[in-house]
Structure 1
Amino acid sequence: MDPHNPEADDLVSRALAGESTCWDSLIVLFSERLRKLVTFRLDRRLKGRLDESDVLQEIYLEAWSHLANYQTKSAHLPFYVWLSGVARNKILELHRFHLGTKMRDAQRDVTYWTAGFADSTSALIVNSLVANEPSPSSAFALDEVRERVRMALESMDPIDREVLLLRHFEQMSPRETALALEIQEKAAAMRYVRAVRRLKQILSELSGNSSLFRI
């Protein structure tokens, strides 16, 4: 359980005991963070096909059906860390179903993070940094910048990229990030510093195209 969020632990226990309103309270407690995660992680090609609210409902149903597993097998994790993992798995499933994305099964690896999403982290960061709607005159420059940023990010350690994404873009705490990635908090902090330094270097090298960044 999470000593930093006793309210969530209490609500989980009461929900499992049959108090349905407690599950609703859990959803309210984390709905804003989870919505931001869905907005960030859901492939842009699906945003015209899938409503984010419907995706969230699927995540909530999936989490509810596995809530007992959280208490028996994953209670060492803060509830939101577990819930966000459920969300990412559901989004990965939707990507596979709608886009036919070729990804390894996360269950084959020790940690979820090094399986499905480490490979796509670069694209997520690029899409978050680089403007989506350039003027016609800047479209070519935009494509070039995206590719240069992507290649620079690909040169980073995959876990460094994921730490950067979780801390900087999803705003997870240092502790949440370490637990999600199953690494020591000190190691996660060092990786974050290293990743931010590299990202600043990348953006500095492209400073002449600063109008193309959402920063």
Structure 2
Amino acid sequence: MNMTKSLWPSGDNTEVLIQAARQGDPDAVNQLLDRHRGPIRRLVEVRLDRKVQRRVDVSDVVQEVLVEASGRLQKYLDDPVMAFHLWLRQIAWDHIIDTYRRHRVSAKRNMDREQPIAGGGRVDESSVDLAIQLCDPAMTPAAVATQREIATQVEAAIQKLDEGDREVILMRHYEHLSNLEIAEVLNLNPPAASMRYLRAVRRLKAVLEEDKENFGVDNDSQG
């Protein structure tokens, strides 16, 4: 699959800053957090529910993440339990969940069952990219002219998946994490993470086919 570039900056430059921060360089600490401000913002925009984003300032959520990361940074430097961007992602994800719970529109919505997909146009683009990958390769550009409709169908289908399938799809196609990164987040070995992703894609295709027979999803049972 043609994957979009990761949200996160180069690991090589990050490692240089981590080493400098470990030596007590305050400028390195500031640079380390500042260069991840944009990626954290994009993550919040991608994963925080649209309705919640109309009620909160994304910049405030990002700042909360960076403040917490700054306070916990020394502990991370002493014992880096995972890649730095995945550590930051976990802090950001905790804040996304907390923000959703504090500002959700209806008490009937359950954060543990309906994970947030998304904020702005970036998500729609990710939905369209995923839809095109799932469609019959023979489809012409004219056949995917209604891309916004396709994006809506994909997002609705993702929400119908169980939590495990949904999360691996979102991490792969909306956060653009690699299989190795997903394996680390989920505490799986890479082959197991890959199999979980492939199963999730198959189930997503099945939901799309059930929802809209004319969607054009390729199916092994079709000739």
TM over 0.5: yes
Normalized against structure 1, the TM-score is what?
0.67
Q: Say how many residue pairs are matched.
A: 177
Residue 177 (structure 2) pairs with residue 184 (structure 1): no
In the alignment, is residue 38 of structure 1 matched against residue 44 of structure 2? yes
Question: Residue 5 of structure 1: CA displacement?
Answer: 2.5
My pick for the range that moved more, 19-28 or 172-181, is 19-28
Q: Distance in 1 between matches of 2:13 and 2:156?
A: 45
Aligned to 1:109: none
* 1:164-213: CA deviation from partner (whole Å, max 9, x where unpaired): 11111110111111111111111001111111122123223325479xxx
Equivalent residue for 1:12, pick from 12, 15, 18: 18
Equivalent pair of 1:118/1:162 in contact (CA under 8 Å): no
One-letter code aligned to 1:50: V
* Aligned counterpart in structure 1 of residue 201 of structure 2, from 193, 196, 205: 196
Is the Cα contact below 8 Å between 1:166 and 1:172 reproduced in 2? yes
Conserved in 2, the CA contact under 8 Å of 1:118 and 1:161? Answer: no
1:160 alignment counterpart: 165
Task: Give unpaired runs (5+ residues) of structure 2.
Answer: 1-9, 129-148, 217-223
- Compared with structure 1, are the counterparts of its residues 119 and 7 closer, same or farther at alpha carbon in structure 2 (3 Å cutoff)? same
Match of 1:80 in 2: 85
After TM superposition, give the deviation of residue 34 of structure 1 in Å: 1.9
Instruction: Give the stretch that moved more between structures: 42-51 or 78-87.
Output: 42-51
Residues 97-131 of structure 1, C-alpha deviation per residue, up to 9 Å, x if partnerless? 333988xxxxxxxxxxxxx966333x528x8659x
- The 8 Å contact of residues 12 and 22 in structure 1, kept in 2 or not, is answered as yes
Which secondary structure does the structure 2 equivalent of 1:124 belong to? coil
| Contact preservation (8 Å) 1:16, 1:67 | no
SS of the residue 2:114 aligns to: helix
- Please tell me whether the aligned partners of residues 209 and 215 of structure 2 are also in contact (alpha carbons under 8 angstroms): no
Q: Tell me how far apart the structure 2 counterparts of residues 196 and 153 of structure 1 sit (CA, whole Å).
A: 10
1:29 to 21, 29, 35: 35
Q: What TM-score, normalized by structure 2, do the two folds share?
A: 0.65
CA distance change for structure 1 residues 147 and 161 in 2, over 3 Å: closer, same or farther?
Answer: closer
Distance in 1 between residues matched to 2:97 and 2:155, nearest whole Å: 23
Instruction: Check whether the contact 2:182–2:193 (CA below 8 A) recurs between aligned residues.
Output: yes
Cα distance in 1 for residues equivalent to 2:188 and 2:90: 15
Q: 1:91 aligns to what? A: 96
Q: Which runs of 5+ in 1 are unaligned?
A: 103-115, 131-140, 211-215
- Which 4+ residue blocks in structure 1 deviate beyond 6 angstroms? 145-148
| Inter-partner Cα distance in structure 1 for 2:165 and 2:158 | 14
* Higher mean displacement: 60-69 or 18-27: 18-27
